Amino acid sequence: MEDGSFEETVVVRYLLGDLPEEAQIQVEDRAFSDPEYLRLIEAVEADLIDSYVQGEIQGAERRQFEGHFLASPERRKKIEFARALAHVAGESQPARDVAKAAPPSVTRHSWRETLAQLLGGRTPAFQFAMAGVAVVLLAVMSWQLVQTGRLRGQLSQLEANQRLQQQREQALQQAANEEHARAEDLAAQLRNHQGGAVAPVASLMLLPGIPRSEGALPQLAIPESAQLARIQIQLEPVDDFPQFRVELRTHSGEEVLTRSNLRAQRSRNGRAVVLELPASMLSPGDYELTLQGATSGETRDIGFYNFSVAAKH
């Protein structure tokens, strides 16, 4: 477990059935009234299952885990899923590190001695050993050739994907610029209509698939007189859900608002979910928005968006 805080330790003990009944009831009552705490329990449970799968839980704790976690088929599925996830995540590591990887050497720890012994005597054993070395060298060289070919293939694929992604980003960015220009135009028209008053709605458009790690965050500039903030989250065609749910949090994870039962609306660029909220709820700073699709009682994450809010004077 990474976080050794007291709270997490209590949750671990709870999940292993190691707390007195009264303390168990306290944990449950808090979980069912505090969504943050409920998520903490679920996160700790996932970590605990991963630790078990990776053999990090030993001894009495392992027996406790097995007694408690293997009881229901639902939990056994969670364990099997964790095994599969560890397996697949483990596969992806060599692909990422392949450039750094060196071919394994079975005699690395004693090669000097072995070589000295072989060179010391020109016997049939020496000749046989040299032939063996040649075979190994040939195998290593073939392996490297195959690896190089494979890496070239992967690199071409990655470059093609990157080109596609860039084209897509450019198209989306252009759409965002058009939308922004349109909003500015409307605001200007409104200003003229109202005799110079500032538009009362601050708006922001969030696009899917744009990497949030590069460049500045999209910014929602809120004029002083704005009463309403409007955030338009553009959907991709695959995001075909009857309803949507939006969670808005500050950068530090504090919940600002959660809104369910939102429906997609037609926009100039396809479909979008529109979130409108009082501008006063958004103080300047960074925010994270989670968009989920809801269908027959289940919700699925669609995307996470980071943006910043600034006061416009």
Partner 1 sequence: MDGNLKSEDSASVPEVRVRERRRSELTQEALDCFLQRLSPDRDLAGAKYLEVHKNLERFFEWRGCPSPLDHADEAITRTAQRIAQGEVIADPATYVIGVARLLLLEIRKAQEKDRRIAAAQPEVVIAPTPPSEDPELRVDCLRRCLDHLPADNRELILLYYEGEKSAKINNRKQLTERLQVNVHTLRMRALRIRERLMVCVETCVAKIGP
Q: b/e for 105-122, b at 16 or more Cβ within 10 A?
A: eeeeeeeeeeeeebeeee
Contact region with partner 1 (CB under 8 A), list: 36-44, 134-142, 173-181, 272-280: 36-44
Report which residue type is found at 16: L
Contact 288, 295 (CB under 8 A): no
CA atoms within 13 A on the CB side of 70: 8
Contact 200, 228 (CB under 8 A): yes
Task: Compute the distance between CA of residue 196 and CA of residue 187 in angstroms, rounded to an integer.
Answer: 10
Does the protein bind partner 1 through residue 99 (CB under 8 A)?
Answer: no
Contact 259, 275 (CB under 8 A): yes
Does the protein bind partner 1 through residue 46 (CB under 8 A)?
Answer: yes
| Among 12, 41, 57, 229, contact with partner 1 (rule: CB under 8 A) | 41
| Among 34, 42, 184, 255, contact with partner 1 (rule: CB under 8 A) | 42
Provide the 3-class DSSP secondary structure of residue 246: strand
Closest approach, Cβ 296 to partner 1, in A, equals 9
| Among 13, 30, 62, 75, contact with partner 1 (rule: CB under 8 A) | 75
Does the protein bind partner 1 through residue 80 (CB under 8 A)?
Answer: yes
Residues 248-277 that bind partner 1 (CB under 8 A): 249, 251-253, 260-261
Q: Which C-beta is closer to partner 1: that of 163 or that of 191?
A: 163
Residues 47-66 that bind partner 1 (CB under 8 A): 50, 54
Question: How does DSSP assign 69-104, residue by residue?
Answer: HSSSHHHHHHHHHHHHHHHHHHHHHHHHHTTT----
Closest approach, Cβ 176 to partner 1, in A, equals 18
Site string for partner 1, 146-185 (x = CB under 8 A): -------------------x--------------------
CB atoms < 10 A from the CB of 157, how many?
A: 10
Does the protein bind partner 1 through residue 290 (CB under 8 A)?
Answer: yes
Kindly report the length of the chain: 313
Q: Which C-beta is closer to partner 1: that of 180 or that of 251?
A: 251
Does the protein bind partner 1 through residue 8 (CB under 8 A)?
Answer: no
Contact region with partner 1 (CB under 8 A), list: 12-20, 113-121, 125-133, 189-197: 12-20
Nearest CA to 292 out of 255, 249, 270, 261 is that of 261
Task: Compute the distance between CA of residue 10 and CA of residue 44 in angstroms, rounded to an integer.
Answer: 10
Alpha-carbon dihedral sign for residues 25, 30, 35, 38: negative
Name, in order, each residue with C-beta under 8 angstroms of 151's C-beta and a sequence gap of 6 or more: 98, 99
Closest approach, Cβ 283 to partner 1, in A, equals 18
Report which residue type is found at 22: E
Does the protein bind partner 1 through residue 143 (CB under 8 A)?
Answer: no
Q: Looking at the DSSP assignment, which residues form a beta bridge with residue 46? A: none
- Site residue total, partner 1 (CB under 8 A): 65
Contact region with partner 1 (CB under 8 A), list: 17-25, 130-138, 152-160, 193-201: 17-25
Query: Where does this chain bind partner 1 (CB under 8 A)?
Result: 2-3, 14-15, 17, 24-25, 28-29, 31-32, 38-39, 41-43, 46, 50, 54, 67-69, 71-78, 80-81, 83-90, 92-93, 96, 165, 208-209, 211-213, 249, 251-253, 260-261, 286, 288, 290, 297-298, 300-301, 303-304, 306
